Amino acid sequence: MRRAIVLSVLVGLGGCASIAPRDRLPASTPASPSVAASAGEPPCTAPSGRATPTGWCNWSPDVRALVDDADTCVHFRGEPWPSGDTVPERERRREIVEGIRTSCAGLAARRTGLQSRHAGDTALLAVLSGLDLGDD
């Protein structure tokens, strides 16, 4: 009985969704990038903890990943280096080294590849050229 009640409530609430599924949108209604994500891509979510660059959700996932990794690389390279020998300080040094290793590796090569792939998009090329890769 309880399952039947829960099921009927869920079915009833299904019509109350604030965002129409993509297949129910009128032909003249453009879907937002978060709704319009292709079947293989997750919906676009803005990076947390910092300002969202203009056009973020219009960029391909590989461009968003590069921008996010570059930001993470710069963050870890700017972290103060713990100089003590306590367990927390040693652990933090390991975290910083691992963060730099995973986020900074290959950024310049990835940017070059994306610049070639998106050569016709001048706005995106400006974003890619202006990236701080943490190597200066």
- Distance between CA atoms of 14 and 114, rounded to whole angstroms? 41
How far, in Å, CA of 52 to CA of 45, rounded?
Answer: 10
**Dist. CA 132–CA 130, nearest whole Å:** 6
pLDDT of residue 39: 56
Q: In this predicted structure, what is the pLDDT of residue 133?
A: 82
User: What pLDDT score does 5 carry?
Assistant: 37
The pLDDT of residue 135 is 67
The predicted pLDDT at position 56 comes to 84
Q: Give the pLDDT of the chain (136 residues) as one tens digit per residue.
A: 334 333 343 333 333 333 333 333 334 333 334 434 455 656 677 776 667 777 888 888 999 999 999 999 999 999 999 999 999 999 999 999 999 999 999 999 999 999 999 999 998 999 999 888 866 4
Neighbour count for residue 56 (Cβ, 10 Å): 18
**Two tokens, residue 26:** 């009128």
Output the pTM of the full model: 0.62
pLDDT of amino acid 54: 77
